Structure 1
Amino acid sequence: MQTRDSIAPASLDLLPARTATVRRVTGETDVQVSLNLDGSGQCNAKTGVPFLDHMLHQISSHGLIDLDVQATGDLHIDDHHTNEDVGITLGQALHKALGDRKGIVRFGHFVAPLDEALIQVALDFSGRPHLSYGLEIPTQRVGTYDTQLVREFFVAIVNHAQMTLHIRQLDGINSHHIIEATFKAFARATRMAIEVDPRRSNLIPSSKGVL
């Protein structure tokens, strides 16, 4: 029989570093993402898409993820390929850094206000990609950024981080506020989900024993 001491949680200081670097090169883009899930929110984002850089800073700052994103792409066509491939590469880096997901809380949720906008995000690092997207963004662009690309960014992350993500717009009329509140809520929900649960830091958070 196991004693209480034999099943005690491992010290968080002894857990392996949760870092990853992923590079994705296609005929359209060259994207490299490096991240540290246990960081302090330092961000260096240079994608050539200013609004996307701004949103990546929200993920880093409010998720306490150290993030470096360097991307070049066919911006002479439009922002679509760069936006999507940054999402894909970030999702792959999240997946790689989480490993077998042992010890994480797994679920996260947050409701973020930004002036008149109010966005709810709930997510699960379940290993099963799914996106339920409920934003109604009133304008086609914020600056030069096509607001349709918000959904494409989260589709890419969900598919490659292998997570379930629900986004609900509870209020909001300003496109910038709606999008930024979404990224902030996503960041805080992610931060909650990837935190290590000291009560089961040696265990995968699933009754199946695998994610």
Structure 2
Amino acid sequence: MKVPIVKAGERPRAYIISRKTKETEISLNLSLDGGEVKVSTGIGFFDHMLTALAFYGGFGLELTAKGDLHVDGHHTVEDVGIVLGQAISQALGDRKGVCRFASAYIPMDEALCFTALDLSNRPFLVFDAAMPQERIGDYDACLTEEFMRALAVNSGMTLHMKALYGNNAHHITEALFKSLGVALKHAVKVEGDGVVSTKGVL
């Protein structure tokens, strides 16, 4: 990944992490300020969603995951959420100057989805998105909530997501990932040099 040029005295907002368990092996290179996007998890639809998330978030993301897909995709999807969340948290550092709050509505055909988030260091997930179909290719639609929970907990993000309507699980899921990317793009922007909190710390 080509890391963006950083001025003298500035901290690059990037993080490289790997995680290996008996169920998954994951390597991830994240830059909050842009770069190449290359994703390979063994689950085609999940690759598509992560690529969309990074693209609309303006992130550089190189991710390789090998998991026990002979069981199902649960461990792979959840563990990617864990690792990506940890990388986001580390790349944010002390979170000084970041906008912190952001939200986005994203339509996709008949579906409309909403994300609101706070990079608060107080992890919480509210997920309200019924999936009309159980499967999207080789991806279990219920795993979107598992990914978002792992991401929120490990990044220190308060995350609220809602599908207002929709009758196609593919469209709903893609709108959720895209709305998360758009919201994150704004939330991680640096617009000052102080912590956006009345407490003085996040």
TM tier relative to shorter chain = over 0.9
For residues 154 and 184 of structure 1, what CA distance do their matches in structure 2 show? 13
Report the residue type matching 1:204 in the other structure: V
Per-residue CA distance 1:132-189 (angstroms, 9 max, x = gap): 0010110110111101100000000001001100001112111100000000000000
Residue 19 of structure 2, aligned match among 17, 24, 30: 24
Residue 75 of structure 2, aligned match among 69, 76, 81: 81
> In structure 2, what is the equivalent of residue 35 of structure 1?
30
Structure 2 residue runs without a partner (length 5+): 1-5
The SS at the match of 1:71 is strand
Q: How does 1:1-211 map to 2 (within 5 A)?
A: 13=7, 15-40=10-35, 42-197=36-191, 200=192, 202-211=193-202
Identity rate of aligned residues, in percent? 45
What is the Cα deviation at residue 52 of structure 1? Answer: 0.8
For residues 84 and 188 of structure 1, what CA distance do their matches in structure 2 show? 21
For residues 46 and 115 of structure 1, what CA distance do their matches in structure 2 show? 27
Per-residue CA distance 1:53-100 (angstroms, 9 max, x = gap): 000101111011000111111111111101110010000000000011
Q: TM-score, normalised by structure 2?
A: 0.94
Structure 1 residue runs without a partner (length 5+): 1-11
The SS at the match of 2:38 is strand
What is the Cα deviation at residue 205 of structure 1? Answer: 1.1
For residues 177 and 47 of structure 1, what CA distance do their matches in structure 2 show? 20
Report the residue type matching 1:22 in the other structure: I
For residues 160 and 190 of structure 2, what CA distance do their matches in structure 1 show? 22
Higher CA-based Rg: 1
The SS at the match of 1:159 is helix
Report the residue type matching 2:13 in the other structure: R
In the comparison of the two structures, how many residue pairs are matched? 196
Q: TM-score, normalised by structure 1?
A: 0.90
For residues 60 and 153 of structure 1, what CA distance do their matches in structure 2 show? 15
